[in-house]
Chain A
Amino acid sequence: EPEVTQTPSHQVTQMGQEVILRCVPISNHLYFYWYRQILGQKVEFLVSFYNNEISEKSEIFDDQFSVERPDGSNFTLKIRSTKLEDSAMYFCASSAPGYEQYFGPGTRLTVT
């Protein structure tokens, strides 16, 4: 069964460093998303992406964040200068039009 994959599973970085989180969505899906979950809290939407551009973003998704689909398979989330409060689980998801979103296993980001 096709699935969303994410790398790395765990990333530790120092405050102020740039990180890139990678995702490979399900191959025939057209819509891609990033969500985050701070430990013990609910899952929050960051950004959605369709047709090579951002279709919607939340207040959390400020200028420190960017997304890219550099080739036909990968979907990346970049945080330019990480802060302690960026520590969270980051989930990538993908969907076909009108269908449920399938989540990847997540990347746990720890900023020290």
Chain B
Amino acid sequence: AQKITQTQPGMFVQEKEAVTLDCTYDTSDPSYGLFWYKQPSSGEMIFLIYQGSYDQQNATEGRYSLNFQKARKSANLVISASQLGDSAMYFCAMRILVSGNTPLVFGKGTRLSVIA
């Protein structure tokens, strides 16, 4: 079974600063994908970034980057140049990559608050 751990229930960051949201995972399967989703107060789940277990480079999407350390089983999300609109819940998730599509397993989330 897969498990995602997010140890930071809440984080604060000053506007325009960078922030790292921690995520560790556990799985015995060698082929897996790691995902980050953003959930603003309106409730929808917004896909941010994806990292495959065999990807050689860390994923980046605009101001989001994923610091993937396979040996440590960590997949931290880095948000650069924080904006007020980044205030939201952030969920780390994973799924095993097999034929077909497997369900996502989520962590408990981290609430990020960006301060002006």
Contact = CB atoms under 8 A, between A and B. Distances in A.
Interface of A: 31, 33, 35, 41-45, 48, 50, 55-56, 58, 89, 91, 93, 95, 97-98, 100-106, 108
Main secondary structure of the interface of B (DSSP, over half): loop
Chain A binding surface SS class: strand
Interface stretch (B10-18, B21-29, B40-48, B73-81): B40-48
A100 B100 contact: no
B60 to A, nearest CB: 16
Contact of B108 (A41, A95, A97, A100): A41
22 contacts: A33-B104, A35-B103, A41-B108, A42-B109, A43-B45, A43-B91, A43-B106, A45-B105, A48-B103, A50-B100, A50-B101, A56-B103, A97-B101, A100-B33, A100-B35, A100-B50, A101-B47, A102-B47, A103-B44, A103-B47, A105-B42, A106-B44
